Each structure stands twice: as structure tokens, then as C-alpha cells.
């Protein structure tokens, strides 16, 4: 193998595939990048047996060939080389020679035949979506994905195509995040649950651009396709929550509040509420709603905290306990100036919604307060 | 105690003293900030029994009093409050009430009588120096301070006033860093060794400004005085290295090299040389000097690396082993475009010096290479 490639192009490819490298593996070959030549391009591949990433780079291939090289070492060396052409050669001793100006590095390689093949996918359904939109939808829901492996289905986000809308939903038993967007083109209804880990990696790779990404779904796999880059991931198996039934549509109490003011209050009060180490990590604060005013308060060994905000209120007075962390996670990703928050009784969840439309809903379950 | 203070002024004071808070202590009061009123100002004090910091803030004192409050909690709450006036009151239950717009926080306090007094200092010698200059001199030497507690004197930097110059020197047994600056005003010769830990804290507090700082030395203590802020630290006891005798003044081989080019070479080659885990952490690279060329190379299980730079050389050819980390530490803080590097035999140290003048010298001891 012998190629000559611009550093910048090569590094862009490496940066995309490096997220698919296995960090904990008993198969050393999975710590590597598979480099394969094909006419006048090279394909970089990484695969951790859950997520596989391929990236194609056009370059000058002087001699065809394949090899696997340690991903971290290869990426660090390329990153630090000067911004110019790099010559990469697999020599007769199976060392990968990297030459650039006065620098010559020779890295040990692994057998490309040992690199596992990425799963083949027969796409049943697919949509096309702008990359920045997908990135945004992931960012606004992924924090609510469950970390608990005992119900694996909730460690992923539901992607649901319904009535030409894409709904992304995450739920962890204490709260739910829903983000909705209209699709530009018509699509058949379908749904799939994509692992949170994959979505985190995808969000590192996709750009804040209007370029589209194609999301294709087969029975057990999803395929994300961009220019030069393909990502394959397994899907999570099982029945996701029927989220439409889970979100109450009626309220007893509703407030309309400035998003930033409320976020600032929670950011301060969590300093007190989270300052004592509780096994259950519930850190509750009490939310009290009277006409025209919300009071958020908590008391523990560290001290007392009370925050008052003047807001417009509708319906009954209310007193209920909540984890401020869940409010903060949701408020941080909301870009609106104001939001509605809807409450039921003091044992019902509350819902953060936009003033207009149905673009998102964040549901938070209450905590029973100790008296 | 009852005070009203602008958030910004209070936070500036807190940010200065917070570095003196003890992180590991059996005395809870040392995790606190002592707040004392005095007419129309408050004094914030922190002390970890090695470094003591005092900061004076002018504000509206409505009722005199003293208290100690947990530093982290106090600082975090003040930091997150809106940018306006904050009212702070010690109430009858010894809770510190912090009021600001709709927020009311009450924090547990500690007995101010239990807060240890900072050492009194009788200054024997002192200098005044611009803060940005001191900051720079610390930054350019502190990395060479020893971490090894078995020779405590080398865990500090020597501050030597001699012939109206300030020399700051750090040495750890493998390398030495010397930074020199002329003083603006005449001063008596004296010297003291200031703990590296203190200098790190001081560098967080002092500004990149032309404002001066006064450095005063007593037998066992040093005092750093700025507007509003005083820092007291113990000195290290013992005989520092006679660094003038340690730095060779003759050379057998000398190169003149572009600083950035050399730094880039070391940044790449350390990827290979530091990639194998050696107990001694010596990671040697071989430096070979022939007429007009320096070659830096290393070989281990990860691979081979070779870097060639064309430079101007004087004197004999040379081959010697060095730890690239020590070169990088020194090159990173040098701002010159070019430097001289002087070598003796392959068992003598090398010295990085400026092309003109004597503003700095970085000495690095060689490593015997395995063949």
C-alpha cells in the first residue's frame, strides 16, 4: 500500500471514524483503523461491534493494499504533522511508514483480515433530514436517556416517523423528553429505538450544517449516511413506552414563566439541595404556586434556600416536590424566552411546553416530600 | 453583622481568597472564609496553615460583626446571584442570610474565634515588581520545581535578588529553569525559597497588569502585597543549589534553531517515546548533531520515529539521549523565534539559551541510552 494524501482531508476522516474505536476490548484489532485502498480513494473503518463507521477519502493511491493501525497513535501523529502532503506506505516489514517533510514515523500494523466485517443492511424505511436539525433533536432529548441496563430499551431514543413528523423521545423512569419536527418530504410511518451511545457518537460526527443525512432502518440495524461517511449501529429490541398516553393532556395549575429566570433560580437552589449526600440522590425542592407567584425552596443541614419569581398563573394553588436537576436539564436545552409549565395534583408529573405549538414536551415526575 | 455589597466587588474578593482554602483538613473552620467587618469595609480571610490570603472590600456595613462560612458554598451562591446589590446578615440563629432580589439563602456558620490567626511578619527585605512580570517569571520556571518531598528545598523556587536583578530558579534533579529580570529600583541582595504550591496560588491571583506587587521577606515568611490583597506564606528551609556553578558556561557543540520547529518535532516524537510504559518514565530520544542538521529519533515496541531539522551548527558532532518532555516544558514557555542550544559531551547537560542576552537558561540532563 502506498498513498499520498493532504493532511487536512486525512485528519477529517480520522476525526470521524475515531469515535467508533473500541476503548475496552479483548480484540486488539478493534483498537485500530482499517485502511483500505480502492482505485483513487481510501476507506477508513472503525467498529466496536456496536457502532461501525466508514469514511471515504479521495487521494493519490500509488499502490493498492490494506492494513490496520492503532487508531490513537495514527490519529495523534497525523494531527501533529505539518499542514501539507503526507506519504503513507506499508513497507515490507509490515510497518506503516508515515512521511512528511523532515518527519518519518514507522508504526506496527495488524492483519486486516482479522478486522470484523460491518453488518450488511437491507434498508426497509428511511428519511432524509438536515444534519443540524438531527443534531438539535438528539441534543434536546438525549439527556433523559436511562443509564440503567436492567431495562435496555430505555437506554436509547425512540425515533418515530408518524404523519410526516419525526418524534424523538427519551425516558428514564423519572422524566421524559420529547422533540418533534416536521419532515420536508413524505414518509411511511415507522419507528426504531437507537442506542444513546450511538447517538452521542453521531452527534460528534454530524455537522451544524444544512447538508442532509439519510437515516435508514432495517429490522435490527440503523444506517446513517452522509457524504463520505456511513455509520452503522444495532437497534435496541423491545417495547418502548407509549409516550402519548404517559403525558397528561389536562392540567389543574399552569404557569407562564421566563425561561432564563427560572433556570437561574434552579441553578442557585441546586447548590443547597444537592449539597448533602443522600443515597437516593433525590435532592428535592418544594415548588409552591400561589396566584402570581412561584416559590422554590429547600432546607437541609447546609442551610435554607428560597427563590421567589413573579409569574402569571392559572388554576389552583399547588405545593409539590421535584428534583431540580431534571428541570435544569430541560430548561438548558429550551431556546424560547417563555414556557408554560403544567401541573396536576401534587403526585402528578409536570410538563414544560412551548407557549405556541407542540415542538417539545418535557415531563418531570414529582418526589414525595418528607415533612 | 449586616452588610450590603455589590456582587461584582464581593465576587472579586472571594475569587482571590478561595485559593487559600484548605481542601484536606481536619479543622472544618479552615474550609471557611472568615468575614470580618471594620468600619466601612469587610475583610475576607482564608488560611490553610501554609498560605494565608486576606482581601479587603469597601462596602456598606450596617452592623459590625465577624463570622466564618463554608467557602465553596458561599462562593457558589454569590457567583450565581444576579449582578446587583447583595445584603448579607448574620441572624440571631447564627445563620448567614444572603438576600438578593427574590433569592434568600441561609447558610450555617462557624465560630470566628476558632479561625487561626495569620502569622505576623517583620519584613527584613522587599522588592516591588509589576504583577505581569512576576506572573511571567513564575510561569517560566515553576514547571521545573521538584515534586519529591524527600528534598523539600527543591519543591520551591529560589527568589534571588542580586546586583539589582531578580533571578527565579527551579530545579528537580533532572533539569533546571532560570529566569532573570532587571529590577526598576535599587535593592539590597537577599534570597528566599518560596514553596511551589504558594507560587501556583499567587499566579492565579495576580493579574496580567502593570500594577505592582510588593514581595517582602522575613526570616521564615514571605508577604505578597497588592491593592486590597495580602498573601502570607512560609518559606522553605535549607540550602538551595548553587545554580551558577551547576550551569556549564562552555560548550563543545552549539545549534541555533527555530523554536517552533523544534517544539513541533518534540511534540510528535514524544507520542512514540512516551507510548510504552516504563517504570522510570524516562522515555528517551536520541539527539544526533551533524554539520547543518539535527536528527531526533527513538525506537520502541510502538514503532520508530525520526525527525530531521536543518539548523546552523557549531563545534563537534554529537549523539546524546534526552527526555523530550523536559525540552517541551522549556520550549513551550520560550517566546523567542530562535534559541541557542549548547551541548558538552554526551554525558553533559545541554542548555537552552536566548540568542541575545541572559534572560533565561534551561538546563536539561542527558539520559544514558540503551544500545
Answer yes or no: do A264 and A290 share one domain: yes
pLDDT, one tens digit per residue, over B45-79 is 999 999 999 999 999 999 999 999 999 999 999 99
- Indicate whether B256 pLDDT > 60: yes
Hey, what's the cell of B57? 472590600
pTM: 0.90
Secondary element (H or E) of residue A50:
none
Q: Quote the radius of gyration of chain B (alpha carbons, Å).
A: 25
| Same domain? B97 vs B206 | no
A267 and A231 in a common domain: no
pLDDT tens track for B216-231:
999 999 999 999 999 9
Contact between B235 and B242 under an 8 Å Cβ cutoff? The reply is no
Contacts of B271 in chain A (CB under 8 A): 73, 76-77, 80
Q: Tell me the nearest-neighbour CA distance from B118 into chain A, angstroms.
A: 27
**Beta carbon pairs, A and B, within 8 Å:** 94
**pLDDT of A81 over the 70 cut:** yes
Same domain, A68 and A166: no
Coil vs helix vs strand at B72: helix
Which of B104, B271, B306 is closest, CB to CB, to A104? B306
Strand partners of residue B277: none
Q: Where residue B104 falls among pLDDT bands split at 50, 70, 90?
A: very high
Record: contact A77-B271, CB cut-off 8 A: yes
DSSP state of B265: H
In a domain, A34, yes or no: yes
Q: How far is B53 from chain A (nearest CA, A)?
A: 25
Contact B42, B88 (CB under 8 A): no
Averaged confidence pLDDT in chain B: 94
Q: Do A304 and B104 touch (CB under 8 A)?
A: yes
CA distance A232 to chain B (A): 30
Mean residue pLDDT across chain A:
94
User: What is the pLDDT at residue B135?
Assistant: 96
The string of pLDDT tens digits covering residues A53-67 is: 999 999 999 999 999
| ipTM of this predicted structure | 0.88
pLDDT of residue A57: 97
Where is B221: in which H helix or E strand? strand B221-226
Residues B182 and B101 in one domain: no
Q: Is B39 left (phi over 0), alpha (psi -120 to 50) or beta?
A: left
Place of cell 514571605: B222
Contact (Cβ atoms closer than 8 angstroms) between residue A141 and residue A168? yes
**Whole-angstrom distance, CA of residue A200 vs CA of residue A358:** 25
Chain B nearest CA to A230, separation (Å): 29
- For residues A86 and A100, the answer to whether their CB atoms sit within 8 Å is yes
Residue range A287-307, pLDDT digits in tens:
999 999 999 999 988 889 999
Domain shared by B110 and B204, yes or no: no
Whether residue A60 sits in one domain with residue A25: yes
Q: Are strands B85-90 and B95-100 parallel, antiparallel or unpaired?
A: antiparallel
**Rounded Cα–Cα distance for residues A324 and A307 (Å):** 12
A303–B106: do the CB atoms touch at under 8 Å?
yes
Which residue in A has a C-alpha nearest to residue B303's C-alpha?
A: A107
Which positions ≥6 away from A280 have C-beta within 8 Å? none
Q: Do B307 and A271 touch (CB under 8 A)?
A: no
In a domain, A67, yes or no: yes
Same-domain pairing of A142 and A236: yes
Domain containing residue A59: CATH number = 3.10.150.10
Q: A160 and A101, same structural domain?
A: no
Question: Does residue B275 lie within any of the structural domains?
Answer: yes
Helix orientation angle between A259-273 and B71-80, rounded to the nearest 10 degrees:
170
Provide the Cα torsion B44, B47, B53, B55; round to 10°: 0
H/E stretch holding B245 reads helix B243-246
User: What is the number of domains present in chain A?
Assistant: 3
Task: Return the residue matching grid coordinates 435490527.
Answer: A220
Q: Which residue segment(s) compose the domain that B74 sits in?
A: 2-114
Determine the 3-state secondary structure of A47 from DSSP: strand
Out of A82, A102, A302, name the one closest to residue B308 (CB). Answer: A102
**pLDDT, tens digit, 9 for 90 and up, residues A27-54:** 999 999 999 999 999 999 999 999 999 9
For A202, phi then psi, to 5°, come to -60, -40
Phi, psi for A206 (deg, rounded to 5): -75, 155
Residue A173 has pLDDT above 70, yes or no: yes
Contact A96, A69 (CB under 8 A): yes
Q: With bands split at pLDDT 50, 70 and 90, how would you rate the model's confidence at A276?
A: low
Please tell me if residue B73 touches chain A, with a CB cutoff of 8 Å: yes
The predicted pLDDT at position A282 comes to 59
Which of A32, A58, A63 has its CA nearest to residue A43? A58
Q: Express each pLDDT in B233-249 by its tens digit.
A: 999 999 999 999 999 99
The residue among A244, A277, A302 that closes a domain is A244
**pLDDT classification of B277: cutoffs 50, 70, 90:** low
Alpha carbon distance A251, B327 (integer Å): 67
Q: Is residue A222 part of a domain?
A: yes
The pLDDT score that the predictor gives to residue A322 is: 95
Which chain A residues are Cβ-neighbours of B272 within 8 angstroms?
73, 77, 105
Q: How far is A141 from chain B (nearest CA, A)?
A: 26
Residues A14 and A80 in one domain: yes
Is A370 a member of any domain?
Answer: no
Interface test with A, best of B263, B267, B303, B304 (most A CBs within 10 A): B303
Per-residue pLDDT, B276: 67
Is A119 part of a structural domain of the chain?
A: no
Structural domain ending residue among the three candidates B223, B244, B265 = B244
User: Residues B211, B130: contact at Cβ < 8 Å?
Assistant: yes
pLDDT of residue A25: 82
Angle at A197 between CA A196 and CA A198, to 5 degrees: 90
How do residues B293-346 score in pLDDT, each as one tens digit? 999 999 988 889 999 999 999 999 999 999 999 999 999 999 999 999 999 998
Alpha carbons B106 and B4: distance in angstroms, whole number: 16
Could you tell me if A218 and A276 lie in one domain? Answer: no
Tracing cell 480484540 back to the chain, one arrives at A27
Number of C-beta neighbours around residue A159 at 10 A: 23
Pick the last residue of a domain from A114, A144, A169. A114
Q: What percent of chain B has pLDDT over 70?
A: 98
Q: Are residues A159 and A260 in the same domain?
A: no
Model confidence over B157-171: pLDDT tens digits?
A: 999 999 999 999 999
pLDDT tens digits along A95-139: 999 999 999 999 999 999 999 999 999 999 999 999 999 999 999
Residues in B touching A82 (Cβ below 8 Å): 264
Alpha-carbon span B104 to A244, nearest angstrom = 39
In a domain, B110, yes or no: yes
Choose among A82, A265, A271: nearest Cβ to B77: A271
Does residue B369 fall inside a structural domain?
A: no
Q: Each residue of A324-333: pLDDT tens digit?
A: 999 999 999 9
**Chain A contact present for B83, CB below 8 A:** no
Amino acid at each position: 500500500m502506498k498513498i499520498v494524501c493532504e493532511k487536512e482531508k486525512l485528519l477529517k476522516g480520522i476525526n470521524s471514524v475515531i469515535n467508533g474505536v473500541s476503548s475496552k476490548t479483548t480484540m486488539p484489532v478493534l483498537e485500530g483503523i482499517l485502511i483500505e485502498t480502492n482505485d483513487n480513494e481510501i476507506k477508513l473503518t472503525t467498529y466496536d461491534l456496536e457502532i461501525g463507521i466508514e469514511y471515504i477519502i479521495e487521494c493519490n493511491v500509488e499502490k493498492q493494499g490494506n492494513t490496520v493501525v492503532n487508531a490513537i497513535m495514527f490519529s495523534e501523529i497525523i494531527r501533529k504533522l505539518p499542514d501539507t502532503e503526507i506519504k503513507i506506505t506499508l513497507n515490507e516489514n509490515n510497518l506503516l511508514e508515515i512521511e512528511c517533510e523532515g518527519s518519518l514515523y514507522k508504526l506496527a500494523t495488524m492483519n486486516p483480515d482479522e478486522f470484523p466485517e460491518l453488518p450488511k443492511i437491507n434498508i426497509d424505511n428511511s428519511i432524509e433530514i438536515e444534519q443540524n436539525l438531527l443534531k438539535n433533536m438528539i441534543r434536546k432529548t438525549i439527556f433523559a436517556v436511562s443509564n440503567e441496563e436492567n431495562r435496555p430499551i430505555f437506554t436509547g431514543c425512540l425515533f418515530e416517523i408518524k404523519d410526516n413528523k419525526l418524534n424523538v423521545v427519551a425516558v428514564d423512569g423519572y422524566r421524559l423528553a420529547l422533540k418533534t419536527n416536521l419532515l420536508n418530504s413524505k414518509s411511511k410511518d415507522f419507528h426504531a429505538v437507537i442506542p444513546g451511545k450511538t447517538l452521542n457518537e453521531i452527534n460528534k460526527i454530524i455537522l451544524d450544517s444544512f447538508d442532509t443525512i439519510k437515516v435508514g432502518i432495517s429490522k435490527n440495524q440503523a444506517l446513517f449516511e452522509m457524504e463520505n461517511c456511513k455509520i452503522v449501529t444495532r437497534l435496541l429490541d423491545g417495547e418502548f413506552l407509549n409516550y402519548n398516553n404517559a403525558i397528561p393532556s389536562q392540567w389543574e395549575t399552569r404557569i407562564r414563566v421566563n425561561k432564563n429566570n427560572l433556570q437561574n433560580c434552579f441553578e442557585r437552589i441546586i447548590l443547597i439541595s444537592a449539597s448533602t449526600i443522600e443515597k437516593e440522590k433525590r435532592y428535592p425542592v418544594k415548588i409552591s404556586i400561589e396566584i402570581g407567584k412561584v416559590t422554590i425552596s429547600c432546607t437541609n443541614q447546609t442551610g435554607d434556600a428560597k427563590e421567589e419569581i413573579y409569574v402569571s398563573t392559572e388554576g389552583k394553588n399547588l405545593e409539590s416536590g421535584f428534583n431540580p436537576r431534571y428541570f435544569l436539564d430541560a430548561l438548558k436545552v429550551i431556546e424560547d424566552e417563555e414556557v408554560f409549565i403544567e401541573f396536576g395534583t401534587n403526585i402528578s408529573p409536570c410538563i414544560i411546553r412551548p407557549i405556541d405549538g407542540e415542538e417539545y414536551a418535557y415531563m418531570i415526575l414529582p418526589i414525595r416530600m418528607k415533612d
